[in-house]
Structure 1
Amino acid sequence: MNVPIKPQNQSINFRYGDEQLVLERIKRPQATDRVLIKVHPDCRIVVSAPEDASNEAVLCAVKKRGRWIYQQLREFRQQLEHITPRRFVSGETHYYLGKQYLLKVIEAPKQVQGVKLLRGKLEVSVRTRDADSVRDLLTSWYKARAKENFARRLDAVLEQALWVTEKPPLRILSMKTQWGSCSPNGCITLNPHLIKAPRDCIDYVILHELCHIAEHNHGERFYRLMNQVMPGWEKTKERLDGMASSILPR
């Protein structure tokens, strides 16, 4: 199983005024008959509903909050208009472990190319000042930091996962739709872009995958384990989902 960047669940169409909106319906783990509606900063509309609730019942709940949903969408769309694609030039901000750092590009033909986190800035030394070179160096730097930090965080949270008898293999792989995954044989794969998120978000993804070693599906036992090892994990998940548009390549 995996931690998706965007939930891969049932889609439901909903018309509000002249606009056709798409809702992502996911199963609500809590034992309740309430429908929970969330509009995320990337303009996804996610509806958490009990498994036995009909789509008609879900749409009825959504229509009652149609005005609120549209207002949230309008605010987030206005924010997204100001997000411009990365140009990998000095003055941009890039995330690392949940904090933003100014990028400083240094053209130094005779120096070794590389990236340093120095005095609150990400300094990138390149032989030729071009976006592709800066992007490639940053990508390699992020992957190296991800490998080092993820291994350390896995060691730290393993103490909570009492059902894991041996340290699982860990690999780093860029993925477009997943923060992490766990194979049937217990190998954990993590997205290197996750290194841009805060430490608690990294811990959440690792713990999520460790729970899948015990329970491969998102069943009652899985959520019981998640609540045991990370009380309040839902808020951390929401925080990570909200950062997706800022820390993933655009």
Structure 2
Amino acid sequence: MNTVVLVKQVPDSGAERSLRSDDNTVDRASANNVINEMDEYAIEEALRLQEAHGGEVTILTMGPEQAGESIRKALSMGPNGAVHIVDEALRGSCALGTSKVLATALGTLNADLILCGAESTDGRVQVMPHLIAERLGIAALTGARKLDVDGATLTIERQTDEGYEVVTATTPAVVSVWDTINEPRYPSFKGIMAAKKKPVRLMTLADLGLAADEVGAAGATSAVLEHSRRPERAAGVKVTDEGEGGVKLVEYLAAEKFV
């Protein structure tokens, strides 16, 4: 079974994040960029399937040159190689444009299974698996907490607020996973050294046969028009109890429309 894992480099959610002032896109140049957390679980699941069923695991990333750092880290976990779509015209791509680029690239990779995280920590829209599956004309099994493979049949337990649903499909298919599906392995020193020699194929829009105005900011169907920093936290209101503390508290709550 040949598996392609979609990996996105995102600003570290635990650090300060900001938007660029010139075009209101995420400022990735000054951010501490890492692999999207959910994608690490997708990589781990792909490696476990490879160990059980054979085949190859390929990382697919769309992003600027610096995303190569995350590609090498992903490869250090064990995948066989990677494809990196890098083109200046991609900056500012919306979800629709991104799905078009990824689906076009996937059409050249002959994957039996496409794995990805259920969401990215920067966008958190959870639509990419559905968009890619629609463009490729294949099934989308989303929000998996468990994945079983039996020949060409895929079965997942889709995580919900009430429990889980059992969903099946046949390959090829797109499967997105939550962090409940496994525990990602730590790259070994041997894996880190081996990752430096693994093949990473660079692709541009021209290689994919896509025009610059189809994607990026030029072809985006949505955009951030303006943004501002969250205001500093204001000091709280202190009520001194001099015998009428309860009354003052109720008056304050009423003024704030809590009661």
Q: Give me the TM-score of the superposition, normalised by structure 2.
A: 0.25
Larger relative contact order, structure 1 or 2 (CA cutoff 8 Å, min sep 6): 2
Q: Give me the TM-score of the superposition, normalised by structure 1.
A: 0.25
